[in-house]
Amino acid sequence: MRKKVGIIACSGEELLGGTLSRAAARIVVEKLRSQETIILCAPLFAAGGLERHGGQEERNFAKEHPTITIEGCEEECAKIAVDKYSGPPAATIYIQKYIDAHPELKSISRESLGEEGMKLAEIIAEDIAKKVDELFIRK
Amino acid sequence: MKKLTKEIICILPCNGLDKSLGVIAREVSLMVIEKMPDVQLICPVLLNNGDKRYEDLIQTSKIIIINGCMTRCPTKLIEKRKLKPFKQIMIPDMSKKHKVKPSKDLILNEDNIKLAELIADEIIIDLNKSDQEKNIDIREFQEQEYFDITVDKYYFTVPKKEGYFFNENDCWIKPEGNTALIGITDYLQNAASDILFVDLPELGSEIEQFDDVGSFESSKTVLQLISPGAGRIIAINKSLEQNPEYVNQDPYRKGWFVEIELKNFEEDKELLMNGPEYFDYMKIKIMKEKNHLDQIKSERDV
């Protein structure tokens, strides 16, 4: 049985990159590669899990499975967290690169993507899905 | 004299993307921020990574935590820093309380959105409540001496201390620099008898000299405070809403109504009396009333 790929998105609420990263992660996990991926909770990663479960579920998953981090800004919170608790991520996606590449796809606000913002999230999600496929090929 | 300071409020949601509970937590925080744009949103992951701006902010803010699940990630982040949140919300508890099941997938259904709205409203109500409590502007006043006169069973006072000015409507103003406290005199509170309600004006409103800037109601009557000065209202004595009796007990100090930023007090002063002048004016007024009442009484007795 092939290992699932972990997807961990930036949790940023203060910036559009955070909203796009969350939307793209969900498109991958719920639609594009629902069988191959599992979503990881970034805050849980940061704080550690339930003590009675050993407190390390998300972190252990990322230790044993390839994990893709999606970064909403240059802070690279998801990458830093994965790196710190589980080892280097398998791949990192930078949302800003997509925002710069598609100036025509403008979101309504940092919280609300609107139709054009969702199109951009889908483009990002397609690329994440490709990364997932690459990781499967590598395996 | 204490001034009102604006407190920073932060909201630290779970933001978890692996369960709908986390998505509800996020939705709640966005709803609060939409209604209260001054509230600062904190990203738990960035906080965990040691963002300096967040670290500084949470040390001096009122923190609201929204936990998506029993792991209580945001709570852990705050406890780790030995801070105490103002309010903690557990989405599963709220879901039980409001009998709304979280959706199984990450897309929130209509009921979940409603649940988020209910929780956001509860947070806003709590914040407003605490704001009102904070706005109870308790000031310390020094003991002071009074001119006094007793007529029948009634006792009337006027502060001896310089600095109080009075209009003919029995209201006082006490300037200090470019601000001034305003209230009603002992004569007026006696005339009103036991004050049951005080209606105060809105903060920030501009008033002219002799404008009506508030009213108070007793079992006998409703009377107005007629401002002895012009300016902008910068503080109101919120404690009078809970304790209107302060006006009866201590009209020149604890019973103050509003504080204004003065516009041109030198001009206002021309139409006002100082303490001794008002005391004389008040005595004449009291005696006239007493004579009038005595006359009515004697006519009735005849």
Residue B76: is its pLDDT beyond 70? yes
Which pLDDT tens digit goes with each residue over B262-283?
Answer: 999 999 999 999 999 999 999 9
pLDDT given for residue A79 in this prediction: 93
Q: Which two tokens stand for residue A125?
A: 């999600």
Pair B73, A46: CB distance under 8 Å: yes
CA B168 to CA B180: how far, in whole Å? 18
Q: Give B203 to chain A, closest Cα distance, Å.
A: 32
Which residue of chain A comes nearest to B22, CA vs CA?
A: A41
CA B112 to CA A65: how far, in whole Å? 32
Please indicate if any CB of chain B lies within 8 Å of the CB of A122. Answer: no
Say yes or no for a CB contact (<8 Å) between B48 and A111. no
Of B43, B49, B73, the CB nearest to A13: B43
Residue B2: is its pLDDT beyond 50? no
pLDDT band at B4 (very low <50, low <70, confident <90, very high): very low
Please indicate if any CB of chain B lies within 8 Å of the CB of A42. Answer: yes
Residue A86: is its pLDDT beyond 90? yes
Quickly list H helices, chain B: 20-35, 44-48, 52-59, 73-80, 91-97, 110-134, 186-192, 239-242, 245-249, 265-269, 275-301
pLDDT band at B225 (very low <50, low <70, confident <90, very high): very high
pLDDT given for residue B302 in this prediction: 67
Q: For the complex shown, is ipTM > 0.95?
A: no
Q: Give A107 to chain B, closest Cα distance, Å.
A: 17
Closest by CA to A44, choosing from B83, B103, B14, is B14
Burial of B32 (0-12, 13-18, 19+ CB in 10 A): buried
Please indicate if any CB of chain A lies within 8 Å of the CB of B189. Answer: no
CA B48 to CA B42: how far, in whole Å? 10
pLDDT given for residue A75 in this prediction: 87
CA A59 to CA A36: how far, in whole Å? 18
Query: Which CATH number covers residue A75?
Result: 3.40.50
Which residue of chain A comes nearest to B40, CA vs CA?
A: A14
| Residue percentage of chain A with pLDDT more than 90 | 58
pLDDT given for residue B279 in this prediction: 96
C-beta atoms surrounding B224 within 10 Å:
16
Residue B221: is its pLDDT beyond 80? yes
Q: Phi, psi (5° rounding) for residue B152?
A: 50, -125
Pair B88, B25: CB distance under 8 Å: no
Which residue of chain A comes nearest to B73, CA vs CA?
A: A47
Which pLDDT tens digit goes with each residue over A38-77?
Answer: 989 888 888 776 555 566 778 888 999 999 999 999 889 8
Q: Phi, psi (5° rounding) for residue B221?
A: -160, 170
Q: Is B24 helix (H, G, I), strand (E, B) or coil?
A: helix
Which residue of chain A comes nearest to B15, CA vs CA?
A: A11
Which pLDDT tens digit goes with each residue over B58-68?
Answer: 988 899 999 99
Q: Give B254 to chain A, closest Cα distance, Å.
A: 45
Domain count, chain A: 1
Q: From residue A79, how far is each of A14, A59, B107, B292 by CA, in Å? A: 18, 12, 25, 88
User: What is the domain extent for residue A44?
Assistant: 5-138
Which pLDDT tens digit goes with each residue over B132-166?
Answer: 555 556 677 888 899 998 887 778 999 998 899 99
Which residue of chain A comes nearest to B106, CA vs CA?
A: A26
pLDDT given for residue B1 in this prediction: 39
Residue B179: is its pLDDT beyond 90? yes
Residue A111: is its pLDDT beyond 90? no
Pair A36, A65: CB distance under 8 Å: no
**Dihedral sign of CA atoms A68, A93, A8, A86 in order:** positive
Q: Which chain B residues are closer than 8 Å to A44 by Cβ?
A: 16, 18, 71, 73
pLDDT given for residue B5 in this prediction: 43
Provide mean pLDDT across the span A79-107. 94
pLDDT band at B130 (very low <50, low <70, confident <90, very high): low
Please indicate if any CB of chain A lies within 8 Å of the CB of B77. Answer: yes
pLDDT given for residue B280 in this prediction: 96
Q: How many CB pairs under 8 A join A and B?
A: 89
CA A98 to CA A70: how far, in whole Å? 12
CA B192 to CA B176: how far, in whole Å? 28
Say yes or no for a CB contact (<8 Å) between B15 and A47. no
The strand ranges marked E within B200-255 are 206-207, 212-218, 222-226, 231-236
CA B138 to CA A3: how far, in whole Å? 65
Give, in degrees to the nearest 5, the angle at Cα A106 between A102 and A108. 160
Name the residue with higher pLDDT: A124 or B241: A124
Please indicate if any CB of chain B lies within 8 Å of the CB of A10. Answer: yes
Averaged pLDDT score across all residues of chain B: 87
CA B268 to CA B128: how far, in whole Å? 36
Please indicate if any CB of chain B lies within 8 Å of the CB of A25. Answer: yes
Name the residue with higher pLDDT: B71 or A8: A8
Pair A81, B48: CB distance under 8 Å: yes
pLDDT band at A14 (very low <50, low <70, confident <90, very high): confident
Closest by CA to A111, choosing from B50, B32, B118, is B32
